[in-house]
Amino acid sequence: MGKLDGKVALISGGARGQGAVEAAVFAREGAKVVFGDVRDDEGRKVEAAIRAEGGHAVYLHLDVASEADWQRAVHTAVERYGRLDVLVNNAGVVGSRAEVLETGPAELLACYATNVFGPVRVTRAFVPLLRRSANPRVVMVSSGLGSFAVTTDPSRIESRIVALGYPSSKSALNMITTQYAKALPEFRVNVVDPGYTATDLNGHSGPQTVEQGTDAIVELATIGPDGPTGGYFDRTGPLAW
Ligand code: NAD
């Protein structure tokens, strides 16, 4: 028996990288997986691969920065399933690689549109459907770069990154997570640092495999109603804010 048998899960940014692995793992665990991205050709290939394994997957074109796309996704989920059990806000971009002093509001806005406003847009849109679940779970995909503790610890590789956009977008996402957890006490809302993982996001420089990167995400997507909420985790356990 799978950990997500009969559950309906929605993943943003599922056409490649960690999101694609999350979609495949959730389907193997028995979930009906709806996943969206802006890379339609890749998304459809992931959908076909999951279906070839006997899994249930539906790919949709979903830009988290587009209100219209998400309204359409909600409509699809309502029509097909009538509820949502698991939402993973996984889509993310590095954004501008400009130096700190070269980074202005326009560069920040481009990064925040996906990493901050995206999860807010998507979560708000799906709360009514999540309320129809017996055990609604929301997983936000952040980064160690969003942690003040990690980025000020000289023993951590994240402390050597000096940038305004991506790290501050993930710090904002961390705070947004704890506020949603307080506003939705009947939900389990948690945020994850996948760890430094080999994906296109970092030119495949990360030492972890994508499967290792998704460990904590899968764990929090499958917790029971007595599991944690408002927490920040990596694959080894709780992470300092
Ligand atoms: P990736 O680049 O392989 O995948 C990101 C996916 O998000 C892509 O398929 C991309 O098309 C999609 N995406 C980007 N903008 C989008 C939008 N506006 N709407 C919908 N989809 C969009 O990177 P990844 O490493 O798999 O990243 C997944 C998440 O993990 C991100 O939130 C990232 O910030 C986070 N993360 C990654 C690492 C790492 O080392 N790879 C570390 C910490 C956190």
Q: Tens digits of per-residue pLDDT, 115-160?
A: 999 999 999 999 999 999 999 999 999 999 999 999 999 999 999 9
What is d(CA 162, CA 156) in angstroms, rounded to the nearest whole number? 13
166 is catalytic: yes
Q: List 63's β-bridge partners, or say none.
A: none
Pick the catalytic residue from 112, 166, 180, 232.
166
The finding on whether 73 has its CB within 6 A of some atom of ligand 1 is no
What is d(CA 240, CA 198) in angstroms, rounded to the nearest whole number? 23
What tokens does 232 get? 């920040």
Q: Which CATH architecture best describes the domain 8-238? A: 3-Layer(aba) Sandwich (3.40)
Task: Name which residue sits closest to atom 4 of ligand 1, judged by CA.
Answer: 17
Please identify, by atom number, the ligand 1 atom nearest to the C-alpha of residue 43. 9
The finding on whether 49 has its CB within 6 A of some atom of ligand 1 is no
Report CA(92)–ligand 1 centroid distance (Å): 4
Q: Are 73 and 59 in contact (CB under 8 A)?
A: no
The finding on whether 19 has its CB within 6 A of some atom of ligand 1 is yes
How much is the pLDDT for 43? 98
Q: Where are the chain's structural domains?
A: 8-238
Q: Do β-strands 8-12 and 56-61 pair in parallel, antiparallel, or remain unpaired?
A: unpaired
Please identify, by atom number, the ligand 1 atom nearest to the C-alpha of residue 19. 26
The finding on whether 169 has its CB within 6 A of some atom of ligand 1 is no
Residues of the chain with pLDDT under 70: none
Report CA(199)–ligand 1 centroid distance (Å): 8
How much is the pLDDT for 148? 98
Q: List 32's β-bridge partners, or say none.
A: 8, 56
How much is the pLDDT for 186? 97
The finding on whether 41 has its CB within 6 A of some atom of ligand 1 is no
Model confidence, pTM: 0.98
How much is the pLDDT for 183? 98
Give the residue among 19, 12, 15 at the shortest CA–CA distance from 42: 15
How much is the pLDDT for 79? 87
Report CA(145)–ligand 1 centroid distance (Å): 14
The DSSP annotation for the chain comes to --TTTT-EEEEES-SSHHHHHHHHHHHHTT-EEEEEES-HHHHHHHHHHHHHTT-EEEEEE--TT-HHHHHHHHHHHHHHTS--SEEEE----------GGG--HHHHHHHHHHHTHHHHHHHHHHHHHHTTSSS-EEEEE--GGG-HHHHT-TTSGGGG---SHHHHHHHHHHHHHHHHHHH-TTSEEEEE---SB-SGGGTT--SB-HHHHTHHHHHHHT--TTS--S-EEETTEE---
